[in-house]
Chain A
Amino acid sequence: MSVGSVLGVPRPGSPIDDSALRVVVHDATLRDGQHAVAHQLDAPQLRAYAQAADRARVAVVEVGHGNGLGASSIQIGRSRLPDEVMLSTVRAALTHSRMGVFMAPGWGRGDDIRRAVGLGVPRNSGGLEVVILGLTWGNASRRLGGACL
């Protein structure tokens, strides 16, 4: 489990007010954790873990290939399941948590995010969280309206 993003960060120079900080926990097990198993998690494993994380009220449950959307390749390993199947499986298991997808421009692309959004957000949950990697690609992420970590 990793601390993914900190919202409500005070402006530079202003005194730190702890009450303005909100820590959002991203559980990257079903995404970054895929590296440990050569991107071979199957649907029952994704479903069981997502249900458990949802019961634990984890804020964001990330899912996908270890390097994110569109990254299944000879170079870093092919996913057992296509992105759409991984996302649909986890989406169906979440009732409280938000689902998170990760995209590194150059590996994934804008269309991968559009497809992820097109699958719809989990029912009764907080929605879809999109993390786009890379300061150097700031323009690409702004164009997509995504977060830029």
Chain B
Amino acid sequence: MIKVEGLTKRYARTLAVDNISFEVEKGQIVGFLGPNGAGKTTTMRVLTCFLPPSAGTATVAGFDVLEQPMEVKKRIGYLPETPPLYPEMEVVEYLQFVAKLKGIASGDVRRRVDEVMERCSVADVRTKLISKLSKGYRQRVGLAQAIIHNPDVLILDEPTSGLDPKQIIETRELIHSLAGDHTIILSTHILSEVEHSCERVIIISQGKLVAIDSVDNLTARLRGSEAVSVELEVASGRPNPTEVQQRLEMVAGVSRVVMKDSRDSRLVFEVESLQGRHIRADLARTVVNSGWNLSELRSVGLSLEDIFLQLTAAEQKETDVKEIQGATV
């Protein structure tokens, strides 16, 4: 559905996107992940024909963004980072305007507008001025605007930014319900979002493609090792924290112990294991055998967050690209 080859976008002085290639199948939800300024928005803008690429090609549904932008634009629904809303319009008026702008026949406009208002649950504010809407409603009107012409491809730039937790869940569900008929690319720097709603992840950093894989594969890569938070209660001053730390480091399978907190009698450590080792039982035994009180033992896991940080950390970048591309191709 979407095919990007060797895409490069250069601004006056900076290289925003550097030779990115990827493909997205029909009906997939793909998460576009990267720190701020990584080139997510630029890539999306190229796909929506807002910006021309400096080099490389991008095709949507078989149409090149440079050669046949009209055909591409007809097939794309786009929600930019700030929803493109006209504050002086009413919601229904705005959606009718967009519907006509996207080329929906006059006879169908009313029906389509009612449909998307229902779907994005903005029907209750239909006659409100957009300038009076809350952030959550604005975002949903923006989403309604993107799907109004039932496009093949939906491109959503940080669809949940600035929403409260309840709205985030609602938006996620909405996006999920849109999958299937639509191919969706959504960008975000919030990782849990990708874990929840995407099938595949494209990670970019500083304009370069760092990883492209399914969410499960990416997490599985680092599932082997685990991190455990250990909280102890000891009589104050005895034993001293470094002593405890040394003892924990001696447990079999432990790779690293970091002291997180030490106040009065309370000590908190984060213990990381080596690949494929389960250390919780041994840890608990060590603590109890030493005569300390174990008040908490909790797995903090290595989340997508950690993978992401590892992948995007500059010093590790080169090796990781090779490693991951080797693993997936």
Check if A and B associate: no
